[in-house]
Structure formats: structure tokens, C-alpha cells
Structure 1
């Protein structure tokens, strides 16, 4: 007996867009068709599919059983279809609130923010799903058919950030492309610009960014004309920006300009009720990706996952699910297997740390904080925040000299 999961796996291995529909209008489709629905931000129905494909080349094959019509198969040639403009395909948000497991109270607030056009700032540790929320807000907004562009501010060097965001004119600098180049703000016109790790923007550039946000117009590097832009800004950071302002690392005026609608995402260790649901979802997706079938008798086999704090948050949990699927040799998971996987990744007993005894309390404290820093994967920002200490204090505790 062929299961729906088997059919889905087969469909996703086909390059063409394929949709199976029965006479009542129910659809089963592959990832190519799924991208069309996400692009047009519309419900999954047979009627909407035909609207999307209007003017595109596709083949509809009726399926008859005992001379009775039971449904049809739609084959879409991806090379000839004009359903999705290819030039803008890289600037599309693919996630919606329905893709987010748990955090219902945050989703409700974020859905309200989506109806507004004001700037949103999302606070959360690395791996908590900040871009997932940003894309969902965009897809729920009136700008959903416009571009969504994500920029990691930490990846932009101080010398390039202005030309990347604002663009440049012909001959603006040595090596500039002939005819100039549009910046990210222009490319995001009519849509949403997601500025991830905004706390990493160089201080001397923050005033220029503030002016753009206030005036809704940019000036390319090497140019004199002002170019109006209509862009909704969503920011994200794992830093306490108010503290960064006190340290003169971030401008107060920019902080108050972007801190209009605020979302705070909890670390996974503070919402353990979501861990098993998330893990099951990751297992399911990875099975489809690797063409595997895994089953289990009860969700209780995943209880060992709750004993770990997942300091890498959702991203770490997803990586562990990929590890479990890759290592599974049988088609049924059990608790012992999950425990063995946790042990092989050194994820067990993370609520305890071991340090060497010393009669010098400062020496023990130094070893404790060095051990904690390893637990935080070297992320001093998160360690300082969770233990409510400054970076200077942390440096002293880490660098104890006898």
C-alpha cells in the first residue's frame, strides 16, 4: 500500500511542477507547486492553482477509473512557466506563522504587527527563529506580494555597507560596475527589508541609516539625486540595544527610531513544552529530504530531549534531528536510540558543570566562567546577559591570575 508520504517523496524528486487533484478539489502537490502558493500568498485550493497558472504552459491529464473521472494530474514545465517572475524569486519570503511551532502568544502579537507599517524589532538569542518571524510578518502584511530582502549587518564591512545598502553611481569608486548599481533599499522598494544583527552596524554609519529611515529616501554613493524608497523595516538583534547605547556603541536616536513595535523571542530552554513538537516536525522534514521512513510507538521516547537546555536553540535542535535521521539504521526510533545519540553528541547532563576544587574561590570562579563560556559556544554577549554581568566583569573572571 502506497502512503501519502511515499507519494509526496516521489513528487518532490520530480523537476516539473506536479499537482494531483481529485474531483472534490483536494490537492497533493510537490515543492515546486508549493513555492507558487507561497509566492502568491494564497490558500491551497484547486481554483487558486488555476488562477496562478493562468497564461502559463501546463498539461492537464484526466484520470479515469472504470470509465469514471476521479481526478487529474497537472504537469507544469518549469522552464516555460511565467507564473513566478524569476528575477524576483530570490527576494521572496517563504515562511508563514503556520510554519512556527509554539510561541502562540508571540505569534498573536506579531500578527497584529503585520497589519501595521511601522518598524519592528525582534530580540532573541541566535537560533530562536528571528528571521522566521520576520518573514511571517511580511507574508501577513499588505506588502506580501512585494520583495522581502534579508541582510546580515554583521557581514557588511564598514567600507562596503553604504554602497551595499544605498547603491552607487557609475564611476563612484575604483572597480564600480559600469552604469552603477541599485542598493538593497531600492531592491526592497514596495516590500520589507530585514536588517538582522542591527547592533553590529558601524557607529559612524548609523546617522546615515537614521536619515534614510526618517526621510524615506536614499542617495547613492557618488550621486547627488535623492531617490524615494517605500520600504518597511524589520530589525533583529541578540544584543541589549539600550545597554549598547549606554556604552556609546549605538545611537540613542536610531534606537528610538527602530524600537517601535517590539517582539521578544524566548530561548528554547525557557519553553521546553515546544521541544518535542519541534523535534517531531524536524524529523518529518528530514525524512522527506533523505527519502527515509521513521516511526515510533509513543512521543514519550523523546523525553530525554527535555533534560538538555539547547543553548543553540531551535537551530541546534534541528541539527540534532538531522543527526538522528542520518544515524538511524532501523525504521523505528526508541528511547535508547535517542539517549545514545545524545551521549554521542555530548548533550546529556548539561544542567551540571564540573570544576576542579581549590581553596582559592576566585580561581574556582574563573574556572566556572570559562566552563560556562564553552557551554555558550564562546558567545560572551549571551553569557553576560544571562548572568547579568558586564563584559569587563566577565573578562576579569575569565582571566584570573594567581
Structure 2
């Protein structure tokens, strides 16, 4: 009788584990879904509001500010609400903000709503990453992050299909609003299944945010996250311009190189699951940074268009496992008391890197030419390698 009861309990725990894992996969897809949509919708939005080409900047700034705020304080909020409720309310906030996009009477209203989309996205990003870091292995976290790319690719495809079928850009956003609302209902309905907060020692209270910030290893990790996400985003944003405008490579070939960059990033995250179990995440991160640096140096050398394409693919492939593996190592590095705060801060710095380094590359291109971009990226990868080496020593 006792054995039968134990079997039932084990089956229920396994079912709960599987359900939460599936919800994490869905959550990562939903997180990526709205991120890249605005790029496709921008010409139509710009025409509706009669805007200049560079008017998109304030929307990105507002969204980045919201993301930084939400992710920085996500650890504190998780302790009060729990991960399930936080995910549900964040999806609801994102849905309401995107619905506001479709109803905005003026561009400044849409920019203001961008702050809310950033708050929702930042909270979702930090909450799911915290749960994944505590509950799953590095290989599972890498696969989860690979599915973010699925959402990031699906959003533009959805908006493209919407516009191609003769509908306005608002219709594409309304579909995403429906998805976000549905996810909010699912997360709130299942909130009791989610852990209340990240694991910590029973005899110790969860750390305050300022206590986590004082840790040297947390400070180093923030530098690593800032640099890595900046390098990843800057390469994705400027590779096409470098190849097409500076090196005279045809549109199709330059576009193919950019596509291979993102395919490489997705493939390496998915492929991480097939690495031998004894391979440590820290070793993978170090090897990937060195490989990406080699690819950037080869790109800067400008030897041949084919070599450029191979180098770009290598950069994307080597970049893939770095972010999720760093997230997965956070609990072991900082301890359960600091995990939620540390992950939130890391996601916050990642958001800053996503905005700052591509902008810095643009400034460099304006002042020194597009060929300065791979040189700047090489310098950033070298600093990243040094920062990660210092972090690994801790």
C-alpha cells in the first residue's frame, strides 16, 4: 500500500515537473514573439504617425528602461507574488500595453506604452530565467533559450503575413495580444504549481538586493552579461551594413550571412543538449568566447567574402551557449539566497548591453567608417574574455 502511494506521489511530481517545463518553453516563445515585430511593422507605423526614420529610438529607450527596472527588482517581487503570479501579471501587462499600441492616437502615447511592454518583458525574462536556473541543468536552459529564437522569428513572420494579406499593422499586434492574454490566464491558473521562490537554505533569509550587489562575483557577472549581450546584438544589427555597404557584397549574400549568424546561434543552443554529461558549462563558455573572438578577428581581416560568411556563422554558433550557460551557473556561483536577485540584475544588465553596444557601433561607424565595427567588437570580446576569466576565479 505504501509503495503504491509513493508511486502515485512520484507520478504527480513528474507530471508537475513536465508541465512546468512545457510552460517554460511556451513562455520563452512568447517572450521572443513581440520583440522583433516592430521592425517589420515600422514602415507602416511611421506612415500612420507621419514620423521620421529615426523616431523609433525613443520607443526602444522606453522599452529598455522598463525592462531594466522590472528585471532589477524581480527578485523582490518574486518573494511577494511567487513566480507563477508574476509571470501571469507580466503577460497581462504586456497584453494591455500592446493593445494600447493598436489604439494609440499619437506616437508619444505608443512610446509611453513602450515602458509598460519593457516592464512586462523584463519581469517575464527574469522570472523564467530564475526558475530555469534553479530547477534545470545547463543543457535544458540552453534548449529553452533556443526556443526564444523561435518566438523572435515567428513574430516578424506573423506581421509580414498580416501586412501581405492587406491588413493593417494593428491586426498583427492584436494576434500577439490574444496570445499574451491566453498565457496570462494559464500562468495565473497554474500559479500554485510554481515554486514560491528560488531555493535557499532554510536557516537563512533571502538576501536583500543591496546585499547581492555587494558581492564581487555578482559585480563581475554583470560586466560579463553587459558585454556578451552587447556583442551578440551589435553583430546581428551591423553585419549586413558592413558586408553590403562597406565591402560591396550583394544583398542576397549579405542577407544570407546574417541568417546564418542567427541559425548558428539557435543551433548551438539546441546542440548543447547533446554534449556529454561530463562537459562542464564553464568550460563551454570559455571555449565559446575564444571561438567567437577568433571569428570576429577573421571578419576584421576582410580576406574574402566566403571567409567572411564562415566567420560570421562561427560567431553566431559560438555565441549561442554563453548566455543560457551563464544563467544556469548562477545558483552554484552565488548561492540560493542571492539567485533571484542575481538573475534579475543580470537580465537587467543584458538589456542595457542590447541597447548600448549597437548604438556605440553606430557612432563608431559614423565617425570612423563601418570597418571599425569588427575592430570594436574584437576589443569587446577581449574584455569579455578577461572579465569571464576573473569571474571564473571566484
TM-score (normalizing by structure 2): 0.23
Q: Which has a greater percent of helix?
A: 2
TM-score (normalizing by structure 1): 0.23
Compare CA radii of gyration and give the structure with the larger one: 1
